[in-house]
């Protein structure tokens, strides 16, 4: 196995927000949360996607320098997102479908 970036980890999160919270989530809540995540050690990039079939389904694609950084950030997020400034973010969620970490095996372009 020839890995181009052997330690880099991709965090994939797929979730649904409540229909009544969609606008708040897209326009304000995700921005506050993104800024929080971008401040963690080992952060590389954050991409935010909306489903082409359901406007309430989203995907976060976050790249980390290593699994250790990704897991430490996840622990910190669980604690910090309970703060009052992230209430809109937490209140927006209806369900979480996927939260997992992946490493690259191969890449084609």
Tell me: the pLDDT tens digits for 48-94? 999 999 999 999 999 999 999 999 999 999 998 889 988 889 999 99
21 HSE (CA, 13 A, CB side): 17
Mean of pLDDT over the chain:
93
Q: Which of 108, 106, 109 is nearest to 6 (CA)?
A: 106
Measured distance CA(24)–CA(9) in Å, rounded:
29
- Binned at pLDDT 50, 70 and 90, residue 5 comes out as low
How many H helices and E strands in the chain?
4, 4
> What pTM, to 2 d.p., does this model score?
0.89
């Amino acid at each position: 196995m020839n890995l181009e970036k052997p330690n880099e980890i991709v965090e994939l999160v797929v979730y649904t927000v409540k229909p009544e919270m969609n606008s708040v989530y897209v326009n304000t809540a995700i921005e506050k949360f993104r800024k929080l995540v971008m401040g963690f050690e080992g952060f590389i990039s954050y991409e935010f996607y909306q489903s082409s079939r359901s406007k309430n389904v989203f995907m976060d694609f976050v790249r980390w320098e290593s699994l250790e950084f990704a897991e430490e950030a996840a622990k910190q997020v669980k604690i910090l997102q309970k703060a009052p400034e992230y209430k809109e973010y937490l209140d927006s969620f209806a369900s979480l479908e996927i939260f997992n970490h992946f490493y690259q095996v191969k890449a084609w372009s």
